[in-house]
Structure 1
């Protein structure tokens, strides 16, 4: 299955709206660092403001997504984008405000549109054939990574060449413009809640928590790259302006990795792919911390970006296997919150460590935290599932078992096709995925 079935006028409109919604997110952390770089506290204050922004995303994503009506999602998405634009505008208009005011505005800018990525991803799934779902996710990742390639470069150029407040004002204008584009798209998507069997949404999504943990581990590496890189460049006597191009290289590598990942089916189960790729990305980031020279920085970040794309795509595809279709929008938003939490925790750790240790040491500490999160999530996914007898129809014979035995329950193994035993029969394909495409890994 190629990418041809993903391309249409409606998906092109969706892409334009998605760029307007995601570009400010790509710009915000580095823009906040540059906004207060010359104030007392410098980089540490910028890192803490970025943490406040991401905490807003973490809080807003699940709370707002679970209140979104699938069939009438447009007003919800529009309101979130409009309020988020106001938060960005406030940050750009008040760069010398008290730290508490800036933190509150950063929190608002992160929280208000936090459910938009999950909602737009669910909307994209409704715009493409079900068999092209995996390619749609890869195409979305390429778009997002492309935005993240342009965002830091634009922030660096505008903050150093014009004024530190300009990137945030531009982010406000771009996000506000994306609101108008929503009216060129469907008002929502169909969601049949019968696949939940009456089970509460929170309980369903809680079963996927190991996927969220490994997603958080993946995003924590981006926090290290974005928030500590300027200080690392200063430590090595290199121009701070290199931060933008280097992060752009990271994002370009991620876009290439997303394209390659969507071209074919890769060997191994999704969780195995995720573990191998995560450990490789950690190795690349650790090399960035210890190897001198611009060439080593560029190579390490580029390789990390290529591998990082596979990590995030394998996590999103695993989420499609674990959750029923009716809660995928909320599940995507919880994943967004989880990766935001990983960003916030690592950013806070890095910001605190920069006060007492060298930037290279702060990066290595963040890599250690990421490895721990990765192992926790992976080992939990490997946890044996509790099995109960499969229900059979009671025929009244002496050896027949009564019907009504509950369905298997336990860890993520219940939802992963690759984990079924031979007695369980052939695995079912993930919802909306092409059974011959990248979503099939076992």
Structure 2
């Protein structure tokens, strides 16, 4: 009997194990609130611009917010590595809340450059918060529980991104865009009430790891993972732009766009929860080499069929591959970087994802004008596969050197 006990495998980690750890539920509640204004911002700012001028004015503010996130993420994330966590978190969230509140109050009564600057500031000042939060989750979670914790975080992120635009659209059209901005300000400030209960470690407790000299050094160490983040979001951005045009050319109703992307979100949530429940075979690099091409092949189905079931099947399969890829990139980053620059690394992933999404949107829009939506999808999925393969091969080729350097 004793021999059977010793040979028995340890029980698989569960989401209950993650949530019942001290501060576990608080972390996920705070992260959901932190993500909410970011998910609401694009549509809320577009509607705000329309209510005070034009849709184009809102588009400029939405672009300024996204650009602020991409520019600010590496620098603000570095602050979370170097300075006390709670001080950085409180400063960033309070500043973001004030910026959104100022936009709600000043829109229609102030010059456009000021509103654009406020939108940029709202994106930039809090851009390091998701990376800082994820770094604390990883550093305070036992290694055997990290895939499960990150799987739950990925599912939460997808749920917020599925609901955020709907909430922004509903409040903006049924009440007022100003109320939507005020709601975003409240969501930004609400985690301040629970900040002290978020489990965290101080920078001093991580000083045994030699930190890279700066952000460029972090990029040199983590470039395959950063490139993977850009590739994943490049594909998502391309499909977001191409899907409505593809539906139109095949005679489908444009209103189905939201339903199809909703299927992608639901599949992503389910896949993230399933992936986080167990340890999967293969290294992060090997899993990337399998999952990213599979995701691109699945979404390419939109280009080769004009049937409605094909669009739903493509986005369903794409969503099933998407969340595991997002979890893999986070785990790979932790293996590649010392713990005292995890917040910087996670923030670089955030910035790279934003840049990849933006680049894909621009390229896809140009391709649709010059060719057809089907050709645009094929080109963008091919580019994604190429970038992803380079990232995956780079991950596999350099992981041994990173381990030797850290030893």
Alignment match, 2:399: 412
Is 1:260 the counterpart of 2:274 in the alignment?
Answer: yes
Q: Deviations over 1:379-428 (max 9, x none)?
A: 33344xxxxxxxxxxxxxxxxxxxxxxxxxxx333236xxx9xxxxxx99
Deviation, 1:364, is 4.0
Q: What SS does the aligned partner of 1:68 have?
A: helix
Give 2:237's match in structure 1, choosing from 194, 199, 223.
Answer: 223
Alignment match, 1:108: 121
Is 1:144 the counterpart of 2:161 in the alignment?
Answer: no
Alignment match, 1:347: 361
Alpha-carbon distance in 2 for matches of 1:2, 1:347 = 39
Q: What SS does the aligned partner of 2:80 have?
A: coil
Residue pair 1:30, 1:226 contacting (<8 A) in 2 also: no
Is 1:208 the counterpart of 2:219 in the alignment?
Answer: no
Distance of aligned partners of 1:172 and 1:288 in 2 relative to their CA distance in 1, 3 Å threshold: farther
Give 1:313's match in structure 2, choosing from 323, 327, 332.
Answer: 327
- What does residue range 8-407 of structure 1 map to in structure 2 within 5 Å? 8=20, 10-32=23-45, 50-68=62-80, 72-89=84-101, 94=107, 103-159=116-172, 161-162=174-175, 167-186=180-199, 188-189=201-202, 191-196=205-210, 199-202=212-215, 203-230=217-244, 232-233=246-247, 240-353=254-367, 358-383=372-397
Alpha-carbon distance in 2 for matches of 1:414, 1:54 = 35
Alpha-carbon distance in 1 for matches of 2:319, 2:57 = 27
Distance of aligned partners of 1:86 and 1:134 in 2 relative to their CA distance in 1, 3 Å threshold: same
Alpha-carbon distance in 1 for matches of 2:399, 2:272 = 25
Distance of aligned partners of 1:334 and 1:13 in 2 relative to their CA distance in 1, 3 Å threshold: same
Query: TM-score, with normalisation over the residues of structure 1?
Result: 0.76
Alpha-carbon distance in 1 for matches of 2:296, 2:323 = 13
Q: Deviations over 1:232-285 (max 9, x none)?
A: 555556555444443332222111111111222222221121122111211233
Distance of aligned partners of 1:38 and 1:192 in 2 relative to their CA distance in 1, 3 Å threshold: closer
Q: Deviations over 1:334-383 (max 9, x none)?
A: 22222222122223333555555555554444333322321332333344
Q: CA RMSD in A?
A: 3.5
Q: What SS does the aligned partner of 1:214 have?
A: helix
Deviation, 1:6, is 0.7
Higher helix share: 2
Residue pair 2:81, 2:343 contacting (<8 A) in 1 also: no
Alignment match, 1:2: 13
Distance of aligned partners of 1:105 and 1:231 in 2 relative to their CA distance in 1, 3 Å threshold: farther
Aligned residues: 390
Distance of aligned partners of 1:109 and 1:135 in 2 relative to their CA distance in 1, 3 Å threshold: same
Alpha-carbon distance in 2 for matches of 1:211, 1:199 = 17
Distance of aligned partners of 1:38 and 1:171 in 2 relative to their CA distance in 1, 3 Å threshold: closer
Deviation, 1:114, is 0.6
Query: TM-score, with normalisation over the residues of structure 2?
Result: 0.82
Unaligned runs of at least 5 residues, structure 1: 384-410, 421-426, 429-442
Distance of aligned partners of 1:83 and 1:319 in 2 relative to their CA distance in 1, 3 Å threshold: same
Unaligned runs of at least 5 residues, structure 2: 1-11
Residue pair 1:155, 1:244 contacting (<8 A) in 2 also: no
Alpha-carbon distance in 2 for matches of 1:101, 1:356 = 36
Deviation, 1:46, is 6.9
